[in-house]
Structure formats: structure tokens, C-alpha cells
Structure 1
Amino acid sequence: MEMTFFFSDRLVLLFDFWSVHSPTGLLLSVLVILLLSVLYEVVKMGKAKVLQRALLAVPPSFSQEALLGPDEGDSGDGGHRDSEDSSVQEREAAQGRWFRYHVGQTLLHVVQVVVGYTLMLAVMSYNAWILLGVVAGSAIGYFVVYPLLWVTSHPTQ
């Protein structure tokens, strides 16, 4: 096995059954790796979008209180039962929204880690074409996905 980067159309990529023996096979393999790199960038930006939505879903007045619980010095409405009940309901709703977003972010993180390590192992084949596929896919993914994140977070007037 090579321990330096090389240009070749013959390699075994990730698994024994992914054995490349032709320029066409190499081209298809580089395309698959490129698409995995784009997916990595999409998932990374998806995590940022979920975080952004989570911060918008939990009102600032409830963010610490809802997520961490009420403080001992929590000043209510002088003991009015109705306002306390609505405050508790709002707090529970904020906790539920936060938890759903947290689960979504966790799942996206797991996907990002799996795809990222897969790409790392592909690069460790030391095939320069595969490395170029990862770099190109990362650049394309970032170029395409980042503006979508910015546009949705900064709507025009």
C-alpha cells in the first residue's frame, strides 16, 4: 500500500468490494466521494440552520428559565394562580421545542461525523484523485449551501 499520494486509476477504496481498475471506475468513485463531500457541507449548514431555528423558537425571556429551570428568586405575579399556570405552560412548551431541536441537531451531528470519517478514510487511500474529489466537493458544497443559510437568516425588507 502506498504511503504517499499517487495518481492512479487502480485502488481499493474503503471496502474490498470497492475495487477500482479503470479510468471510468475511478471517475465514478471520485464523483461519489465528491457528492459525499457536498453532503457533509449540507449537513454542517443544516445543523447551523436548526440551531438558528431553535434560538428563534425559544423566547429570550424563557431561554435560561425554560432550559435550566426556574431560579429560587423567581418573582411571579404576586401569587396569581392564572399567571403562574400560563407561565408554567409556556415554560413547558419552550422546553418541548428546545428538546425537539436538540434531538434534530444530535441526529445531524451523527450524520456529519459518519460522513466526515468516511471522507477521511477515503483520503487515507492516498489516491490524489480522491483527495481532489473531497476538496472539490467541499468547495462546491460550501459555495452552494452557505448563501442559502445567509439568505434565510437575513430576509429582505
Structure 2
Amino acid sequence: MQMSFYFSDTVVLLFDFWSVHTPTGMALSVLLILLLSMLYEAIKMGKATLLRRALLALPRSHSQDPLGEPEEGDTSTSTTQGRWFWYHIGQTLLHVVQVVLGYMVMLAVMSYNAWIFLGAIVGSTLGYFLVYPLLGRG
């Protein structure tokens, strides 16, 4: 196993069946790693957006709550807690996908193939450049 970066069109990535032996195969593998890196950045942005929406769904202050016992028909607290729970479930699922993608890209880079490494770096850069301006919207 190679323990320093090298340029080659021959590499085995992640699984035995993902064995690359041609320049075309390497180009497609680099493109796939690039897209996975971009998806990783998009999921990070999605998590941030989901968290912002969840925080906006919470009541602004408990000091604005009426004093005394809640009325029987008042379901705003349980609705808010239910909504927060589903945002938390969404955040958790996105986190799992993000971790899996991150480890897959990391293990691909650990093949020490310089083309794969460059694909991961370019994908992360493009993903950040294209996706993070969307975070400021909405």
C-alpha cells in the first residue's frame, strides 16, 4: 500500500469492487468523490438551516406566557415541543448522513491517490462556494 501521495490511474477505493484501472475510470471516480464532497457541504448547510428554523419555532420568551394555569384548549406548548422534536429528528438524520459521507470521503483520500485528493478538495471548495451564500437567505 502506498503511504505517500502519488498520481496514478490505478487505485482501489473503499470497496474491492471499486477498482480503477483506466484514465476514464479515474476521471469518473474523481468526479464521484467531488460530488460527494459537495453533498457533504450541502448537508452541513442544510443542518444549519434546519437548526435556524427550529430555533425560530421556539417561543421568544417564557416571560410572555400568561401567568396562572394553562387553559384546557391551549396546545401551543405541546405543539411547539412536537415541532421541536421533529426538527431534532431531522437534524439527527442529516447528521448521520453527514458523518457517513465524511468518513467515505476521508477513506477515499486515504488511498493517497493525488487525483482523488484533489477531487475531494475541489468538491469541498465548490460546495462551500455554491451553497453557503444560500444560508443568508430566507
Distance 2:98 2:123 in 1: 15
Structure 1 residue 89, shift from structure 2 partner: 1.5
Matches within 5 A, 1:4-153: 4-62=4-62, 76-77=67-68, 84-85=70-71, 89-152=75-138
- Aligned AA (2:67): G
Identity of aligned residues (%): 65
Count of equivalent residues: 136
Unaligned segments of structure 2, at least 5 residues: none
Corresponding residue number in structure 2 for 1:67? none
What is the RMSD of the two structures over their aligned residues, measured on CA atoms? 1.7
How many angstroms does 1:60 deviate by? Answer: 1.6
SS in 2 for 1:76: coil
- In 1: Cα distance, 2:66 partner to 2:48 partner: 34
SS of the aligned residue for 1:33 comes to: helix
User: Structure 1, residues 21-63: CA drift from partner, whole Å, max 9, x if none?
Assistant: 011100000000000000000000000000000011112225x
Q: TM-score, normalised by structure 1?
A: 0.82
Alpha-carbon distance in structure 2 between the residues aligned to 1:147 and 1:106: 23
Normalising to structure 2: TM-score of the pair? 0.93
1:130 partner amino acid: I
User: Which segments of structure 1 move beyond 3 Å, counting only runs of 4 or more?
Assistant: none
Distance 1:52 1:7, change over 3 A: same
Secondary structure in structure 1 of the residue aligned to 2:15: coil
Q: Aligned partner of 2:53: which letter?
A: R
* Post-superposition offset of 1:85: 2.0
Equivalent in the alignment of 2:2: 2
